[in-house]
Amino acid sequence: MNTNLNIAVLIDADNIPSAHVKEMMEEIAKYGNPTIKRIYGDWTKPNLSKWKNLLLENAITPIQQYGYTTGKNATDSAMIIDAMDILYSEKVSGFCLVSSDSDFTRLATRLREAGMEVIGIGEKKTPNPFIVACDRFIYIEILKKQTEEKNDQKQVPETEIDKITKKEIKLISATINDLSDEEGWAFLGDVGSLLQKKQPNFDSRNYGFEKLTPLIKSIGSFEIEQRENPKSRYKLIFVKNK
């Protein structure tokens, strides 16, 4: 994970709830330095008034975009045009597109074609084409759950945690096979990276686990082995199919 990556964060205010901006910005900081932070919407509309203080607190620049035609989202066009201007400015190496709208699918694809790292953040209702167009996709509901757990505000409903299915287990198993040595062992770090490439929204937090290791252990279909690391005091973790 390259935390020195300069990232442009572009937020679609029309399709993202304002309640968890702080959590989103903390998550983005894990992947790089958000040097450009812009949010797009028609700020004359009362439904966006909740954003005001949050933008000041998180140093996000609001971009005014009037809705010229009823039923059309002008925000999308403004955000796409800005993204291309930023791309050609060569000031960043990655983008974070914050939206649950599939209209940004082509933008994510185009940015990746230009060699940009693309992170998507949106709600679980986000259409799959936009999710798979990103290098990584993070659900806002997971960030919300983490905050509630930290603050011990309330018991998090189980409905917010996905149950791992045979499809995901098969994906993990196949990925281990793709990377395994002659004895069937694969380095877990490589497994996690390849899982992300195969399925951008694969995240152990979706299944109630902070890290991939405890998720793998909970399934019971894999063996885990810790090995000494000659370059660090932290042990290397390897996994194989049973």
pLDDT in tens, 15-57: 888 888 888 999 999 999 999 999 998 888 887 888 888 888 8
143 and 167 together in one domain: no
Report yes or no on 157 lying in a domain. Answer: no
Do 144 and 166 fall within a single domain? no
Q: What pLDDT is attached to residue 71?
A: 44
Q: Provide the pLDDT for residue 219.
A: 93
Reference 13, options 80, 83, 98; nearest CA is: 98
So what's the pLDDT on residue 149? 59
- CB atoms closer than 10 angstroms to residue 101: 19
- Asked whether residue 12 is assigned to any structural domain, the reply reads yes
Those residues of the chain that have pLDDT short of 50 are 70-72, 156, 159
Number of domains into which the chain is organized: 2
- Predicted TM-score of the model (pTM): 0.84
